[in-house]
Amino acid sequence: MTTFVYSLPVVNGSEDTWGATLNTNWTNIGTFIGALDSAELAKLDGLTASTAELNHSVGVTSAIQTQLNAKADDGTTISAGGGLSGGGSLAANRTISHADTSSQDSVDNSGSIYIQDISVDTYGHVTSISSTTVPSDITKTSGSAPYYGCRAWGKVSSDALVDGGNFASWASSTNTVTFTTAMPHANYSVNCNSGAYGATFARNMTTTSFEVVSVSSGGNVGNPTSFEFTVIC
C-alpha cells in the first residue's frame, strides 16, 4: 500500500515558507485521494467494518448477493427413492447409486437347456431365473430333414383300448377314435395297421375324432376289432 508523505512547517523556522509547505501538502493530499466527492464520503459515513471484515471482499468480481443466490442451500437434502441409495445434505457432494436388489447370477445355458421363467421386482430388476431341459423324447440323428411330432397314437385289441397317447376312447359301434385333446385342424395324417384284416385306413376325420375302416383283400368292408394307429399333424 502506498504511504502518504507530507511536510510540516518548522515552528519559528518557516517564517517565509510555511504557506508554501501547507499548500504542497494539500496538493499532495488531493493527488493521493483522487477525485473524492461528498457522495463518496457519505458512503463511508457510519461504516463500522474492520479491516479484516473488509478484506473478506478481496477477489470479489461480481455482486456478492448474486453469487450467494447461485449457491445451493446446505439445508436442502437429496433423498434416494425406491431402488436407489445415497443422497444427503447439499453441504457436500452427493452420489445417487442404483441399488442392487437382485441376487440372481448370470445364466449361460447351452445345448438342450433353456430359460423357462424370469421373475422381476417392482423396479424391473431380475430376481430369479429358472432353466429347464428340452424333453429327450425325440432324438435327432443325422440329416437335415425336419422332425414332425406324433400328436396321438393307440392300440386296440378285441375292441378294447390297450394303450395310447392323446387317445380318449374307442367306440366299436361306430368304429370311432376320439382324441383327448383336439387337433389344430382336420388335415392330419393317420397311419393304421391291422394284420388281421387286409387294409385299414381312417376316414371322416374331424379335429376331435376319426373313423377306422378295414377292407379285405377281396374288397369287403369290415369292422376293425384290433389295430394300431399314429396321428401326425
For the cut 70, the answer to whether the pLDDT of residue 138 exceeds it is no
Which grid coordinates are listed for 145?
430333414
Tell me the per-residue pLDDT of 75-112, one tens digit each, with 9 for 90 and over. Answer: 788 888 877 888 888 778 888 888 777 778 888 888 77
% of the chain residues with pLDDT over 90: 22
**Any idea which residue has 436407489 for its cell?**
84
- Across the chain, the runs of DSSP E, i.e. the strands, are 77-79, 84-89, 96-98, 113-120, 126-133, 150-157, 160-165, 167-171, 176-179, 189-193, 199-203, 209-215, 221-222, 227-232
CATH fold of 150-232, please?
Immunoglobulin-like (2.60.40)
> Residue 140's pLDDT is what?
66
Domain residue limits, the chain: 1-47, 150-232
Smallest CA-to-CA distance from 99 within 118, 124, 76 is with 124
Mean pLDDT, range 55-70, rounded to an integer: 79
The CB-side HSE value for 61 (13 A sphere, CA atoms) comes to: 1
Q: State yes or no: pLDDT of 163 exceeds 70.
A: yes
Residue 198 has pLDDT above 90, yes or no: no
pTM of structure: 0.42
